[in-house]
Amino acid sequence: MRFFALITILAIFGCSDNTRNGSLSTSPTNEDLMTPPVKDIHSYAEPSQAIMQHLVWQAEVNFDSSRITAKASIQVAMDPKAEFVMLDTKNLIIDSVSTGTAGNESATDFSMGKPDDLLGSALKISLSPDTEWIHVYYRTTEGAEALQWLNPQQTAGKQQPFLFTQSQAILARSWIPLQDSPGIRFTYEATVKVPNQLLALMSAENPQQKNEQGIYHFKMEQPIPAYLMALAVGDIKFQSLGPRSGVYAEEGLIEKAAYEFGELEDMISIAEELYGPYQWDRYDLIVLPPSFPFGGMENPRLTFATPTILAGDRSLTSLVAHELAHSWSGNLVTNATWEDFWLNEGFTVYFEHRIMEALSGKDYSEMLALLSLQDLRAEVEEMVQQKNAGDTHLKLDLKNRNPDDGMTSIAYDKGYYFLRWLEERSGRVIWDQFLVNYFEENAFRSMSTEQFLHYLKKNLIEKQHINIYLDELEEWIYQSGLPDNLPVPVSSKFELVDAALNSWANNGTLPDSELWSTHEWLHFIRKLPKDLDSASVTALDASYDFTHSGNAEIQAAWFEKAISYNYRPAYPAMAEFLKRVGRRKFLTPLYKALVRTESGKEFALEVYKEARPNYHFVSANSIDDILNYE
């Protein structure tokens, strides 16, 4: 058994992190290949002692007490000399811990470390040389930050409660005791009991309909990191979209969702043509209630999505391309630590734009690229102003910080532009072949920034004789701001929008409301002059009714402008929006804009008091900071 375990450890650890300090010249030695992953500063796990390989999770979901009661059985591979295994927990009540095989368990010693606000408590479990399985009996508490329990009023159907999880970055430990580090992968199976009128789904092989017992079985046979553990429970229906894809949603939303995601099978085929086979069998989506804090979360086999992308015209489905792309970048090749987050997100934005280019043309994808550049420049400027220039590095320093701090447009958009720059320097054919090999050779492994640079140097720059210099790479990755050689896209569609803005300024003619797509309108709104008299603002809103747009992106962009113009007629709709929608990307800029004035801050606090119970922890945590809310 131990022999097996050691072999597995070597296979899991694969390549090393020996080039951590930005030196690109050293090749891994055999010794490096036996080195465990770098110690993850956001996890108590000590993988060099014992590493989890498989999880059997048996759980009961109780909506009356907002609690999950569960047994987590964890199969470990251990160093022969290891005396304990370390797991991450946060705000869990541990009832008992045992070791041994099912039916033959015996209690074992364990201790809980001092709780840390960010990291939670280490659960240290004693091992004997022949331990293979450990079993943790536990309950979640109100402090389960990953879980959001919704009452029926907070759902579309208003009849049944709903539960969903958001584990990224380090919240999985608040509902399952495990090794919560992106560098550690495991397979899992689960049995989950829920009230029998509800359906349970996980990031795994999923049921497509309810059963009378309310007991569901799950299996995830491909190894995943803890942040991809996911659960949703609600009055959920399924509709097939194609041979290997479908959508789950509450009944009232399912038709709308099925229409919106009608291009999904095409997207999967395009993605495979670009960068190799889809490795997770099925790809399904679930549309969650509006309090879901993100646009989407790439939980394997089952992307979690916000209903704010249901625009009715498929105009916001690049988000689906993004989550689908994560099936390669992120889920297959995973950032080794949260300081390497750009490897997940920069690759995914790049891949997303390539899918959208193939699906809707370059005209379309260049609009996405330009909007991303606008976000990027604004964020860099804000960081530099706030003297956080270090956060504009692709490789982050998150020591003693929440990994959430790294979820900025640097990882996404600067990461995207770095890869676009590499494409331009290498030529698309060579670059695409490099990426196909990259995903294939590193599948189901983690990747640090330095490992990536090493791989890039060896397999692209040297092998293909590409003129890229190390100091250029280092500038992109380890230096502040944006390099001068940043590629700048040109969009003829946005040039027409700019011309329309000019002619409105010069002769008062507004463009035809039927003329443009969502992205052109977003560009139009973003480019509105800083100062606009109230008659012009009123005229704009009278022509297009941005205030009541059915498109959440347009509404959010407009509300931000409305705040800066102090355009009060938009405020009631904005208050309704802030109370209904929990997507952090929309909330943050609006609350930030509101607190700039005394009256705005008063309004924000009033709205927030009512809205906060509807937000997931990750959104509430960010907005608390903006409003100094206690």
Show which residues are catalytic. 323, 412
Per the CB < 8 A criterion, the answer to whether 391 and 379 are in contact is: no
| Shortest CB 175 distance to Zn ion, Å | 21
Nearer to Zn ion, 261 or 351 (CB): 351
Residue 348 sits in the site that holds Zn ion (CB under 5 A): yes
Q: Say if residue 45 is preceded by a cis peptide, omega within 30 of 0.
A: no
Least Cα distance to 37 among 13, 6, 5 occurs for 13
∠ CA(254), CA(200), CA(552), 5° rounding? 40
Task: Compute the distance between CA of residue 505 and CA of residue 171 in angstroms, rounded to an integer.
Answer: 49
Which listed range, 111-119, 346-354, 398-406, 503-511, lies at the site for Zn ion (CB under 5 A)? 346-354
Burial string for 203-240 (b: 16+ CB within 10 Å, else e) reads: bbbbeeebeeebebebebebbbbbbbbbbbbbbbbbee
Strands (E), 194-235: 199-202, 215-225, 231-234
For 139, half-sphere exposure in the C-beta direction (CA atoms, 13 angstrom radius) is 8
Which listed range, 99-107, 301-309, 341-349, 508-516, lies at the site for Zn ion (CB under 5 A)? 341-349
| Shortest CB 66 distance to Zn ion, Å | 29
Nearer to Zn ion, 250 or 284 (CB): 284
Residue 19 sits in the site that holds Zn ion (CB under 5 A): no
Residue 285: is it exposed, middle or buried by C-beta count within 10 angstroms (0-12/13-18/19+)?
Answer: buried
Task: Compute the distance between CA of residue 58 and CA of residue 217 in angstroms, rounded to an integer.
Answer: 9
Which listed range, 59-67, 133-141, 219-227, 337-345, lies at the site for Zn ion (CB under 5 A)? 337-345
Which listed range, 33-41, 59-67, 348-356, 617-625, lies at the site for Zn ion (CB under 5 A)? 348-356
N-to-C CA span, the chain = 52
Which are the contacts of 627, defined by CB distance < 8 A and separation ≥ 6? 591, 595, 601, 604, 605, 608
For residue 75, give the H/E element and its range: strand 67-78
Nearer to Zn ion, 294 or 524 (CB): 294
Alpha helices in 14-78, H assignment, sequence order: 30-33
Task: Compute the distance between CA of residue 318 and CA of residue 608 in angstroms, rounded to an integer.
Answer: 30
Count the helices and strands in the chain (H runs, E runs).
20, 21
Task: Compute the distance between CA of residue 257 and CA of residue 342 in angstroms, rounded to an integer.
Answer: 30
| Shortest CB 311 distance to Zn ion, Å | 19
Q: Count of residues for the chain?
A: 630
Which listed range, 347-355, 417-425, 486-494, 532-540, lies at the site for Zn ion (CB under 5 A)? 347-355
| Shortest CB 264 distance to Zn ion, Å | 17
Nearer to Zn ion, 123 or 355 (CB): 355
Residue number closest to Zn ion, CB atom:
348
Which are the contacts of 159, defined by CB distance < 8 A and separation ≥ 6? 152, 235
Task: Compute the distance between CA of residue 326 and CA of residue 276 in angstroms, rounded to an integer.
Answer: 13
| Shortest CB 33 distance to Zn ion, Å | 30
For 248, half-sphere exposure in the C-beta direction (CA atoms, 13 angstrom radius) is 27
Residue 43 sits in the site that holds Zn ion (CB under 5 A): no
Task: Compute the distance between CA of residue 300 and CA of residue 91 in angstroms, rounded to an integer.
Answer: 26
Task: Compute the distance between CA of residue 371 and CA of residue 381 in angstroms, rounded to an integer.
Answer: 16
Nearer to Zn ion, 89 or 318 (CB): 318
Least Cα distance to 261 among 206, 201, 323 occurs for 323
| Shortest CB 283 distance to Zn ion, Å | 15
Nearer to Zn ion, 261 or 521 (CB): 261
| Shortest CB 321 distance to Zn ion, Å | 11
Task: Compute the distance between CA of residue 126 and CA of residue 106 in angstroms, rounded to an integer.
Answer: 12
Nearer to Zn ion, 322 or 561 (CB): 322
Per the CB < 8 A criterion, the answer to whether 376 and 324 are in contact is: no
| Shortest CB 326 distance to Zn ion, Å | 6
Which listed range, 14-22, 281-289, 339-347, 566-574, lies at the site for Zn ion (CB under 5 A)? 339-347
Which listed range, 203-211, 311-319, 343-351, 375-383, lies at the site for Zn ion (CB under 5 A)? 343-351
Kindly compute the dihedral angle of the four CA atoms of residues 151, 154, 159, 161, in this order, to the nearest 10 degrees.
Answer: -40
Nearer to Zn ion, 85 or 319 (CB): 319
Nearer to Zn ion, 341 or 524 (CB): 341
Nearer to Zn ion, 35 or 279 (CB): 279
| Shortest CB 348 distance to Zn ion, Å | 5
- Number of residues binding to Zn ion, judged by CB under 5 A: 2
| Shortest CB 399 distance to Zn ion, Å | 24
Which listed range, 30-38, 224-232, 309-317, 338-346, lies at the site for Zn ion (CB under 5 A)? 338-346
Nearer to Zn ion, 245 or 348 (CB): 348
| Shortest CB 167 distance to Zn ion, Å | 14
**Would you tell me which residues interact with Zn ion (CB under 5 A)?**
345, 348
